[in-house]
A and B are shown apart, each in its own frame.
Chain A
Amino acid sequence: MSEATAPDTPNPWRRRALLLAPLVVAGGAGLGFYAMLRGLGTGSYDPRGVPSALIGKAPPDFSLPPLEGADRPGLSAADLHGQGRPVLVNFFASWCVPCVIEHPQMMRLSRAGVPVFGVAYKDKPQDSLGFLQRHGNPYARLGVDLPGRVAIDWGLYGVPETYLIDKSGVIRWRWAGPVTEDTLTQDLEPLLRRYA
């Protein structure tokens, strides 16, 4: 206050910067929103998506009984490594509509020789069996998780969910929601090559 005798003339650059600041902030926010909208459009950004807590870790220990009549062995944690290649674990249910959407992709992976292991989540065995008879059975192994407790150990929060486990038995990728053709070509196939 004592410097009032030497009145500081307002620096025109400072003024200009102050005037521009809101514009810069608004521009930044606009760019951010644009990126989010674009991501929503292409599917690379999901505001409800939740990262898995299991990425980089070994799958939980579990052992699930086989599906009666499906002619496939059951699934346990020991089956997930020592395959010499990455494997997929796909949680599905006959009552789940997105599972029908992703099923052709599972069939395609299975035909390509990728070990796809299935877990029937909270599904009556005869319904799971009907689902596989209608849409084909891509699963080399198939466990039945009727109470859904093993799924909780995996951190599952809905079906379908698909996990990629690398050769050494570490979870590298989790996809919550249907594996569409785009997911397959843009995400999953590059990952399968990387961890092959």
Chain B
Amino acid sequence: MMRLLQALFLALLLAGPALAAVGDPAEQLPDPVLEERARAIGRELRCMVCQNQSIEDSDADLARDLRRIVREQVAAGRTDAQVLDYLYDRYGDFVLLRPRFTLATALLWGMPVIALLGGGLLILAMRRRAPAAAPAELTEAERARLSRIEGGSDRPIAGGVGGTAANGPKA
């Protein structure tokens, strides 16, 4: 039993996370500077199959193909922008993890600003409403009653005020 568990554990270790396959040395460019550039580009590109990973993080077949294309182009001396353009032309906005600002993505990019403005307007509106919630000025009767209380008078409070029902004694 113990041996089986050990074997299982070892198998899990060896299987490793998906990252292991992505770091395949056979895929990498010999020049570390170019390889680093290729990785930076790859982290900007969405894996179209898994959709929530970059092609650098994904184990999908298509992601591997795209990594290879990125490396080929980087090795051929293309600029980062040219490589990104190459994939953008084929896969559109969705392939870029940071989509470009276009008419179609304007709402997406504008949302933080819209949310901030909306929140600001809400705060302003609430501040304007605040004075209405402030306590109203004391009436003459209330003032008199207050001074009596402060003066330490021993007269029964409710009797002398004759105020509104709200001021009456709490039974």
Contacts and interface: CB of A to CB of B under 8 A. Distances in A.
B8 interface: no
Task: Tell me what chain A mostly uses at the interface: helix, strand, loop, or mixed.
Answer: loop
Nearest to A47: B51
Interface in B115-171: 131-132, 134, 136
B23 interface: no
A48 interface: yes
Contact of B91 (A4, A7, A122, A155): A155
Instruction: Determine which residue in B69, B90, B93, B134 has the highest number of CB atoms from chain A within 10 A of its CB, and name it.
Output: B90
Interface string B48-68: 110100000000011001100
B131 A157 contact: no
Given A4-B134, A158-B49, 19 more contacts: A3-B131, A7-B132, A10-B132, A50-B92, A51-B92, A52-B92, A53-B88, A53-B90, A53-B92, A60-B90, A152-B66, A152-B90, A153-B90, A154-B90, A155-B90, A157-B48, A157-B49, A157-B62, A158-B48
A1 B129 CA distance: 10
A152 B69 contact: yes
Interface string B81-94: 00000001111111
Contacts of B136: 7
Nearest to A9: B132
Interface string A32-71: 0000000000000000101111100000100000000000
Interface of B: 48-49, 51, 61-62, 65-66, 69, 88-94, 131-132, 134, 136
A35 to B, nearest CB: 18
A50 B48 contact: yes
Contacts of B90: 53-54, 60, 152-155
Contact of A155 (B51, B69, B92, B134): B92
Contacts of A51: 92, 94
Given A53-B91, A155-B92, A157-B91, A1 B48 contact: no
Counting contact residues on chain A (CB < 8 A from B), the size range is 20 to 34
A137 to B, nearest CB: 26
B94 A50 contact: yes
Contacts of B132: 7-8, 10
A135 B66 CA distance: 32
Interface of A: 1, 3-4, 7-8, 10, 48, 50-54, 60, 122, 148-149, 152-155, 157-158
Instruction: Determine which residue in B48, B51, B61, B93 has the highest number of CB atoms from chain A within 10 A of its CB, and name it.
Output: B48
5 contacts: A3-B131, A4-B131, A52-B92, A148-B62, A158-B62
Given A48-B51, A50-B94, A148 B65 contact: yes
A54 B94 CA distance: 13
A152 B92 contact: no
Contacts of B94: 50-51
Instruction: Determine which residue in A60, A154, A157 has the highest number of CB atoms from chain B within 10 A of its CB, and name it.
Output: A157
A60 B62 CA distance: 18
A37 B94 CA distance: 23
Contacts of A154: 90
B23 to A, nearest CB: 22
A191 B134 CA distance: 66
A148 B88 CA distance: 18
B118 to A, nearest CB: 12
Contacts of B49: 157-158
